[in-house]
Chains A and B, each alone.
Chain A
């Protein structure tokens, strides 16, 4: 997979630049949080419910913690988890979709019906059920989101495998004595990875939203964690103090948008027709 950033490249489109800039902004904040953050995100040293002011730029929450510091530290939780979610979902979905597409028959039927069952539930409801059953904590919320997200990848991978497994190069590889594992990993994988990556980038935003949603409902990150969804939830408990919920909400919004813009760009870049249209 080769990504070109020459003139006319999708990566030079305004939305791509915005997406990358915003994501870089959050990544830098996350990496350098201890240096950038004005206060300890867990310290309750200040007065509670302070309006945004020169000392606390985004105000303080109901127990006197600095909201700006919590948002900065929150990036250390939300962003890696969004990427981890996608990574795990891709692995699980690709294995299941790959096996279903390559072997077909009853393996395909069983695995895809299972995927259909998962897809039949509204994502947030299933994630809530799994998270509540496993116990409310961030690790379980991640597992719940992965459980909800993998069928999308499985379906994509299955369809890509189905369309390429009878190609001449695969047949040739088989005739040369390639094992199933080699055929799947060496011959087929490079041809499907681009599409899966695009889907992953687009789904990262959804994963982040779902995870924040679970934390908002008290099923994900637990107090005093500075997770963005949990912070919005605290804002909902004090919504006459608008600053408590709105700033972490903006953080979620920008991160999700950034993932979506990058996903769109990746799709354009990897689709030769779109890339060509943009160049012209």
Chain B
């Protein structure tokens, strides 16, 4: 009996030891990071993606010419390009590529891939195409890329860091239907492929993609740089309150969308605060074809002075501030608190009386069930609606799933919209180029070119101005004019807070991709 017991004991010990030996290295090599975030995602095709969650994921899948480190968003550091030079007139930028970079299938990254990717982005004419406005990419040799801009463009060094300018494996992508030539918007068929299998040279490759539940990326074994700490990252679509619970329970490692209020009082976690660059705004569509009411400037004024900005900031919680203008407070030329729009009920009511509004319901479209920086769209929209009701405007809340809401926003068909804007590149030019009449967001608000010559002149002047102080003054004038005569009402600037389990080291909040996932320890 004793012999049998001994035999069983020894066998069990050996089995346990063998199992431990087998499992231990696998665990070390198979470290998984679970990131909870509320998906604002339409695609992972870099030529088409322009959403915050897309930026966060594509940054890990696709290398770009240059990139940013940690929480910085202003000093480009080498990625695929080792260095660049700029011409004195800020029109020609020459990038020298590194020679050791390879895609996830082992193919070398050359200037041909860069030109293919950037020209595809431009010719797809999708949302991020504006990043390549007036810019042409050429390749004088296999490891040199030249970007030539029609007009002086000092933002190019930071623009090339955008994940939308991720470099595709041109041979593989072309085989799967990607087109970079003019007409790509009609002939390119690679989006489905790029939402199934990535074709980049970043630290990770795409393993699983779902717009509504989760995205999984796995470490790229062929990555040419330092190996990432985590061999797999799982992004899960989760509302902020559940993110908070999950990270506390240890079910996830990072909660990306908590407000400072939600993050306060959490134990055994690291809380990283970043400079908030997300600006929330309200607009009334200026296109009379969309609405004869909201396009009326008196109605716009009634909304502008009807919103209770102080209440909204109070509602948004610790760390939130009123957006004095559309440019976030950390950027050049941002407005001071004193310049912000202030509620004036009398003025709002007087403007409403002068307008064409007759008491009808005005639909306010927003991302139903959505949240960003811990702020729920549903709650913010209800706040705005109740405040406008006080001045006599009946707002019909129209919560809409993110895909449909983005479509109606982007095609300019929303009578009133509640949205936020995070910078595509960390420079005030991102705002002057996108919020004027006839520009990207301008058109989404139905604000056609020619609607406000003062703003349009400032936009043109600032693009040509290279003196920093003069640029700052122009940006201020741009926003002051927007605050007076535009369909746009900047509401608040939300703080960025990341919460991570203690095991996650080196996490920083980045203004473009929110989390420096590829640098985590």
Contacts and interface: CB of A to CB of B under 8 A. Distances in A.
B241 A239 contact: yes
A237 B386 CA distance: 20
A212 B241 CA distance: 22
Contacts of A218: 368-369, 399
B399 A224 contact: no
A234 B383 CA distance: 14
Contacts of A234: 378
Chain A contact residues, majority secondary structure: loop
Interface string B300-338: 000000000000000100000000000000000000000
B376 A237 contact: yes
Contact of B386 (A48, A224, A239): A224
A238 B385 contact: no
Chain B contact residues, majority secondary structure: helix
A42 interface: yes
Nearest to A239: B241
B397 interface: yes
Contacts of A238: 241
B386 A44 contact: yes
A223 B399 contact: yes
A202 B368 CA distance: 34
Interface residues of A, number: 18
A240 B255 CA distance: 16
Contacts, number: 42
Contacts of A43: 386
B382 interface: yes
Interface string B375-408: 0101101110110000000000111000000000
B376 A240 contact: no
Interface string A194-227: 0000000000000000000000001000111000
A234 B377 CA distance: 12
Given A42-B386, A44-B386, A240 B244 contact: yes
Contacts of A63: 315, 379, 382-383, 386
A223 B381 contact: yes
A63 B385 CA distance: 11
B500 interface: no
B244 A222 contact: no
A62 interface: yes
B26 to A, nearest CB: 36
A2 B9 CA distance: 79
Contacts of A136: 399
A224 B379 contact: no
Interface string B244-257: 11000000000000
Interface in B343-369: 368-369
B131 interface: no
A63 B387 CA distance: 12
Contact of A62 (B245, B368, B369, B379): B379
A223 B397 CA distance: 7
A63 B245 CA distance: 21
Contacts of B245: 239-240
B239 interface: yes
Contacts of A222: 397-399
A237 B382 contact: no
Contacts of B315: 48, 63-64
B241 A237 contact: yes
A223 B244 contact: no
A224 B376 contact: no
A43 to B, nearest CB: 8
Contacts of B239: 237
Interface in B238-290: 239, 241, 244-245
Given A62-B379, A224-B385, 18 more contacts: A42-B386, A43-B386, A44-B383, A44-B386, A62-B376, A63-B383, A63-B386, A218-B368, A218-B369, A218-B399, A222-B398, A223-B378, A223-B381, A223-B382, A224-B386, A238-B241, A239-B245, A240-B244
4 nearest A-B pairs in the assembled complex, by CB-CB distance: A44-B386, A62-B379, A223-B397, A224-B382
22 contacts: A62-B376, A62-B379, A63-B315, A63-B386, A218-B368, A218-B369, A218-B399, A223-B397, A223-B399, A224-B382, A224-B385, A224-B397, A234-B378, A236-B241, A237-B239, A237-B376, A237-B378, A238-B241, A239-B241, A240-B241, A240-B244, A240-B245
